[in-house]
Structure 1
Amino acid sequence: MDEDLSCREGVKTETSEVLFSFGVIADIQYADLEDGYNFLETQKRYYRHSLHHLQSAIEDWNGEEVQPQFVLQLGDIIDGFNAQHKMSEKALARVMEEFKKLKAPVHHIWGNHELYNFSRNYLRQSVLNSKYLQDQTWLCNSAREQHSTEEASAEFYHAYHFCPKTKFRFILLDTYDLSLLGRDSSTKKYQDSLHLLRKNNPNENLNSPVGLAEHQFVQFNGGFSQDQLDWVDEVLTYADINQERVVIVGHIPIHPDASNCVCLAWNYKDALAVIHSHHSVVCFLAGHLHDNGYCLDSNGVHHITFDGIIETPPESHAFGTISVYDDRMVLKGRGRVPNLVMPYRKHHNTMYCNNTVNSTVL
């Protein structure tokens, strides 16, 4: 069997008890609008029906024999068109009414469409701020957290981590920490982000990757500040020392073999360098692309990019449940999301899987 097939389709592995499971869903992008198309008019978007897909996913999770302990919502919960039609709050309330029916808590990631609809200050006070679910034990024990000022922590406010079970940690990243979206243009973070973007993208339309040496430097993407990368390094050092398994979650993919060249975080190489300097990371989960992407990188980290609900036809689905075992994680996909077995890496494991990614520009 080819190595990539064994990773993609699943292989016979030793059975063991499921420690816990969690749901994953990406890019719902609900709007009370007729169907439309993406910017390139290559993919149909089902704005109203995306809500029905969410309803179906919630019914499935609530009905599972081993119910998910939590759900990861990977960002872009409502579409940017809501802002143009002045119905952002109404659309968000409609989606959250469905999430209230879920029997498990939801961890919300912020994507570009959240920031088309709302400012970061608004999001901090909204139902999409799930940071209250963070690991309180870490907050009590971390000298960095104790001495950080409110202003400094706000720089990547939505990044946090939590432990659903002993020896397992989840880190949620703010992939729009560096970004023009959702920030007041008078702030230093906005000006720093604009300088970085202009340095790498001279196009009049900053959402255009045409002619760029690094195609990810477009306005609908974002990146990580050094402060956030240092924070991730600290958390992963703690995880290494305590022999934890870590899942990292962000809206934007950080590996080019799990995405196309456009839909990547601006400084994805910096993020990979931090992750690869530690041995605790099992996988990185992302959305944003709207199409499935996967690779097992040269350091043994699984990168999964989830299909988007927004571009899923009414007759299909696009969500999944990941079951966690002592030796692996197993993704049970629905509809467009394929099944996947993710064995935990061994030190110095250099295996990797090839992947196929569709070229969809958001």
Structure 2
Amino acid sequence: MDDDNNCSCTQGATTSEALFSFGVIADIQYADREDGYDFCGLNRRYYKHSLCHLQSAIEDWNRTDVQFVLQFGDIIDGCNAELKMSETALGRVLEEFKKLKAPVHHIWGNHEFYNFSRDYLVDSALNTKYLQEQTFLSNSYRDQSSTGDDASEFYYAYQFCPMSKFRFVILDAYDISILGRDTSTKKYQDSLKLLREKNQNENLNSPSGLVERQFVQFNGGFSQEQLDWLDEVLTYADKNQERVVIMGHIPIHPNSTSDVALAWNYKDALSVIHSHHSVVCFLAGHLHFGGYCLDSYGVHHVTLDGIIETPPESHAFGTIHVYHDRMVLEGRGRILDRVMHYKGYQTFHR
């Protein structure tokens, strides 16, 4: 995390002054089980209490009157599959989201695919693609419609506009992945081939000895088709002088996360983003202790702290207020306040 660029001052950042506001929350990973630890046995995980944190966040957002909420994936923990409680656990979390006055956009993470197949998710309440903005649908987006012969081959990505001149883009960071896909599909076979080329460990979740440590099974990447679609969206946004916020479950900048919590082909995603002037921010989850950097192209990269590793006495959610010249993250608990100026407005309050 880059503390030099952190700003704990949200000067004048009231909802009434903002153009609009939205909520952010990541890695809830609810399960009806006692507290445990991560795979390394180091960080405590509060499976049951994550639902209480979500309830507090929803109460706060309803008071703030946010326009929408972004849920960054890993909504329930993978242990639910072992307990045969996946649908029950998901149902409990979704019941809480029903209390939210604003719509929620769901992003898919690795724990979604530990619990469900991609085909299941397409037909579930976690598919919020119906909230997409209909005015602009690129040619490559139309080509990847889920009405094709094999819906599991398509990526889950869409864009929406909460108001004129502001566009939000949700990316599918597991478009290239062996998680959640039928083993007979081409994407599964291509993903497995790539993963084994980069990772010769018996345990594909282990980064031991890897040169590119992001090539582990719990990460994924973006197909060329999805990157082409993103390029079309950003070209449209450039032409129409829009501000664009991009989000996905996995971070794409090495200075905003650890080297084992990056998208496989993060450099390809950055290359597309940096070829356009409209992108102001990339939001992600996945790394439970969070991170931040401002890259050399003026794009803010915010990785949100995870609910699952947040003690009961704290919080881990936020509200982002959007202005003409900046976005202001108003954090709760472990998530820090931050002022993020758009390109051309690089004066930070320290």
Cα distance in structure 1, aligned partners of 2:38 and 2:154: 29
Q: How much does 1:158 deviate?
A: 1.4
Q: Is the contact made by 2:5 and 2:293 (CA closer than 8 Å) also made in structure 1?
A: no
Q: How much does 1:282 deviate?
A: 0.6
Correspondences of 1:111-130 after superposition (within 5 Å)? 111-130=109-128
Give 2:135's aligned residue. Answer: 137
Residue 106 of structure 1 pairs with residue 93 of structure 2: no
Structure 2: gaps spanning 5 or more residues: none
Give 1:358's aligned residue. Answer: none
TM-score of the pair, normalised by structure 2: 0.94
Q: Is the contact made by 1:23 and 1:68 (CA closer than 8 Å) also made in structure 2?
A: yes
Percentage of identical aligned residues: 71
Give 1:93's aligned residue. Answer: 91
Correspondences of 1:270-309 after superposition (within 5 Å)? 270-309=268-307
Give 1:335's aligned residue. Answer: 333
Q: How much does 1:300 deviate?
A: 0.3
Q: How much does 1:5 deviate?
A: 3.9
Correspondences of 1:28-177 after superposition (within 5 Å)? 28-64=28-64, 67-139=65-137, 142-146=138-142, 150-151=147-148, 155-177=153-175
Secondary structure of 1:248's partner?
Answer: strand
Question: CA offsets per residue over residues 209-248 of structure 1, 9 Å max, x none?
Answer: 0000010000000000000000000000000000000000
Aligned length: 344
Q: How much does 1:10 deviate?
A: 3.6
Q: How much does 1:129 deviate?
A: 0.3
Cα distance in structure 2, aligned partners of 1:20 and 1:136: 20
Distance of aligned partners of 1:128 and 1:82 in 2 relative to their CA distance in 1, 3 Å threshold: same
Give 2:7's aligned residue. Answer: 8
Q: Is the contact made by 1:156 and 1:228 (CA closer than 8 Å) also made in structure 2?
A: no
Structure 1: gaps spanning 5 or more residues: 353-362
Give 1:200's aligned residue. Answer: 198
Cα distance in structure 1, aligned partners of 2:313 and 2:246: 31
Secondary structure of 1:123's partner?
Answer: helix
Q: Is the contact made by 1:38 and 1:44 (CA closer than 8 Å) also made in structure 2?
A: yes
Secondary structure of 2:329's partner?
Answer: strand
Cα distance in structure 2, aligned partners of 1:304 and 1:144: 28
Distance of aligned partners of 1:212 and 1:225 in 2 relative to their CA distance in 1, 3 Å threshold: same
Question: CA offsets per residue over residues 70-91 of structure 1, 9 Å max, x none?
Answer: 0000000000000000000000
Q: Is the contact made by 2:129 and 2:158 (CA closer than 8 Å) also made in structure 1?
A: yes
Correspondences of 1:305-320 after superposition (within 5 Å)? 305-320=303-318
Question: CA offsets per residue over residues 263-310 of structure 1, 9 Å max, x none?
Answer: 000000000000000000010000000012000000000000000000
Q: Is the contact made by 2:22 and 2:68 (CA closer than 8 Å) also made in structure 1?
A: yes
Q: How much does 1:12 deviate?
A: 5.4
Q: How much does 1:144 deviate?
A: 3.9
Partner AA of 1:332 in structure 2: E
Give 2:222's aligned residue. Answer: 224
Q: Is the contact made by 2:288 and 2:305 (CA closer than 8 Å) also made in structure 1?
A: yes
Partner AA of 1:225 in structure 2: S
Give 1:238's aligned residue. Answer: 236
Question: CA offsets per residue over residues 181-221 of structure 1, 9 Å max, x none?
Answer: 00011110000000110010000000000000010000000
Question: CA offsets per residue over residues 292-348 of structure 1, 9 Å max, x none?
Answer: 20000000000000000000000000000000000000000000000000000129x
Secondary structure of 2:160's partner?
Answer: strand
Question: CA offsets per residue over residues 104-125 of structure 1, 9 Å max, x none?
Answer: 0000000000000000000000
Distance of aligned partners of 1:337 and 1:147 in 2 relative to their CA distance in 1, 3 Å threshold: closer
